[in-house]
Amino acid sequence: MYWISFKRIIKSGFFSFWRNGFVSLSSVFVMVIALGVLGSIIFLGALLNSSLGALQEKVDVNVYFVNNAEEPEILSLKTKIETLPEVGFVSYISREKALEDFKTRHENDATTLQALDELDENPLGAVLNIRAKKPSQYEDLANFLKGDNILSPTGKNIVEKVNYNQNKVAIDRLTSLMASAQKIGLGIMIVLILMALLITFNTIRLAIYIAREEISVMKLVGASSTYIRGPFIVGGMLYGLIAGIITLVLFYPVTAWLGKETANFFIGINIFDYYISNFGQIFLIIIVSGVVIGAISSFLAVRRYLH
């Protein structure tokens, strides 16, 4: 019995979708727009994240050591720093490596190189390059590096300087920029999602408003609420499914074009590559959202005429 009803509901949903061609078509188009907005939000989020991420990469703190600091002492400090929860990545640059880097950097600057040759020993100290997980954590990190924690086991201070304070203004500005970018991004996303939901809901409500007489007839022949509602929900899900597929197909040329146009504008991400490599995930989000929004909108819209 339930199986028969289920089969009939599905069939009837497909039939009315097909026979109400014009209404179905306009509902699908509106849902394409709504799902397009949803997809754009995904891309916007990805762009924002990768751009902010790329900016974050450019921020670091360097710890310069005194020339006579012993390598094992530095390495033990490195291990200690690595255990801090705020720390994302620490790299050690030995004195020799620092000198080499310095020479490559100034290879066209003969005077500087000559001056360097005048010296008997390597004037450069070793460096620990530290990246925090979040820009806001640099302050804590810098405070940690100021305290007694960084004294060597023998009790002498091997750190010459920490360059946090020179970069403090830039880091602070970046931190607040990222925070507000994320906040604004989130706000825009919520508004857009609400708009998409409202538009879809109202379109489906109109489509079902057209069928309100039918619903009253169905009630009079004694059809149960489930049996009346079922085909409309199937129809709503079909709107979502078809709109989702159209949206995904449209995203292909759109992201390809945008990817080319914005490659230089956004750092670190090509929107087309992102679409292709995350296709499975985006496919699921768009299709499932479409189907669920369609089903819920239909459910709510029919309920009005059932009572």
Partner 1 sequence: MIYFDNVSKIYTDNSIALQNVTFSIEPKEFVSLVGHSGAGKTTLLKMLLAEEKPSEGAVFFESNNIQKLRKDQINKFRRNIGVVFQDFRLLPNKTVYENIAFAMEASGKTDSEIEGDVPHVLDLVDLGHKIWSFPHELSGGEKQRVAIARAIVNQPDIIIADEPTGNLDPINTYDIIQILKKVNDLGTTVLLTTHNKGVIDSLGKRVITMVDGKIVRDDKEGRYIL
Q: How far is the CB of 1 from partner 1 (least distance, A)?
A: 6
**How far is Cα of residue 222 from the mean position of the Cα atoms in its chain?**
51
* Cβ-based nearer residue to partner 1, 130 or 211: 211
* Cβ-based nearer residue to partner 1, 57 or 213: 213
Task: Note the residues at the interface with partner 1 (CB under 8 A).
Answer: 1, 4-5, 8, 15-16, 19-20, 213-214, 216-225, 227
Q: How far is the CB of 199 from partner 1 (least distance, A)?
A: 25
* Cβ-based nearer residue to partner 1, 20 or 112: 20
* Cβ-based nearer residue to partner 1, 69 or 208: 208
Q: How far is the CB of 216 from partner 1 (least distance, A)?
A: 8
Cβ atoms within 10 A of the Cβ of 179, count? Answer: 14
CA gap 236, 215 in Å, rounded: 16
Q: DSSP letter at 88?
A: E
Cβ atoms within 10 A of the Cβ of 189, count? Answer: 18
Q: How far is the CB of 49 from partner 1 (least distance, A)?
A: 47
β-bridge mates for residue 93, sequence order? 127
Extract long-range pairs of 113-118: CB within 8 Å, 24+ residues apart.
none
**AA letter at 192:** L
Whether the CB-CB separation of 159 and 64 falls below 8 Å is answered with yes
* Cβ-based nearer residue to partner 1, 182 or 225: 225
CA gap 103, 97 in Å, rounded: 10
Q: How far is the CB of 240 from partner 1 (least distance, A)?
A: 20
Question: How many residues comprise the chain?
Answer: 307
- Beta strands per DSSP E along the chain: 61-65, 87-93, 127-132, 159-162
* Cβ-based nearer residue to partner 1, 13 or 135: 13
Q: How far is the CB of 230 from partner 1 (least distance, A)?
A: 11
Q: DSSP letter at 109?
A: -
